[in-house]
């Protein structure tokens, strides 16, 4: 079951969902829009390719206020400015249709959030670590983007069954995160 605008508002009030910063005008009938952080990463290819068993080097880019032109055939790793997560519901990320119509893909595979992603269980409470969403951005043709634009939307799904929190390598990310697949080989 997908949460509606009113259900999202109620869950934010009860702290079953954490959205920070919470901008009420960004709510739509069943999701909340999230914005593009000004920091991007691109991989610097050593030896001509990425290696999933290694920590691949990256270069930082800052999107200026007058915009930055994304190029085809380059993977830009970005992030949202917002935390949008839950210890009770499953958060899901999708690009906005206006962004897709410009030929911008906002995520390749990471649109699925796990219930409890970004939380840690303490003795008597659940603490939010306020993670941001990582974006894997690719474009069909050159497109100028700007910091803080609405880039995607997060919606929430009610799980069925026992809830087990996500315990992984991306729980506390608060900036663009390159792949940590190399940790799977250790």
Active-site hit among 15, 59, 125, 136: 136
Specify whether the CB–CB gap between 63 and 38 falls below 8 A. Answer: yes
Contacts 24+ apart (CB under 8 A), 10-16: 11/86, 11/88, 11/89, 11/156, 16/86, 16/87, 16/88, 16/89
For residue 32, the surrounding DSSP H or E stretch is strand 31-35
Told to judge if 136 belongs to the known catalytic residues of this protein, a careful annotator would answer: yes
Residue 150 burial (CB count, 10 A): 16
Task: Report d(CA 18, CA 117) in Å as an integer.
Answer: 11
Tokens read off for 64? 């200026």
Report the distance separating Cα 90 and Cα 107, nearest Å: 17
Residue from 21, 158, 34, 35 nearest 87 by CA: 158
Indicate which residues carry an active-site annotation. 136
């Amino acid at each position: 079951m997908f949460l509606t605008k009113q259900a999202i508002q109620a869950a934010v009030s009860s702290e079953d969902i954490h959205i920070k910063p919470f901008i009420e005008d960004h709510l739509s009938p069943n999701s909340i829009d999230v914005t593009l952080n000004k920091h991007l990463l691109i991989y610097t290819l050593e030896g001509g390719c990425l290696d999933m068993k290694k920590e691949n080097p990256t270069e930082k880019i800052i999107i200026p206020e007058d915009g930055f032109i994304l190029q085809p055939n380059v993977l830009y790793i970005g992030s949202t400015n917002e935390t949008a997560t839950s210890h009770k519901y499953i958060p899901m990320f999708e690009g906005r249709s206006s962004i897709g119509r410009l030929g911008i893909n906002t995520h390749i595979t990471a649109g699925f959030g796990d219930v409890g992603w970004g939380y840690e269980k303490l003795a008597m409470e659940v603490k939010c670590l306020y993670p941001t969403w990582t974006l894997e951005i690719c474009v069909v043709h050159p497109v100028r983007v700007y910091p803080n634009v609405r880039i995607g939307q997060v919606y929430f799904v009610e799980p069925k069954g026992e809830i087990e929190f996500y315990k992984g390598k991306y729980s506390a990310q608060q900036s663009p995160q390159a792949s940590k697949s190399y940790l799977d080989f250790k």
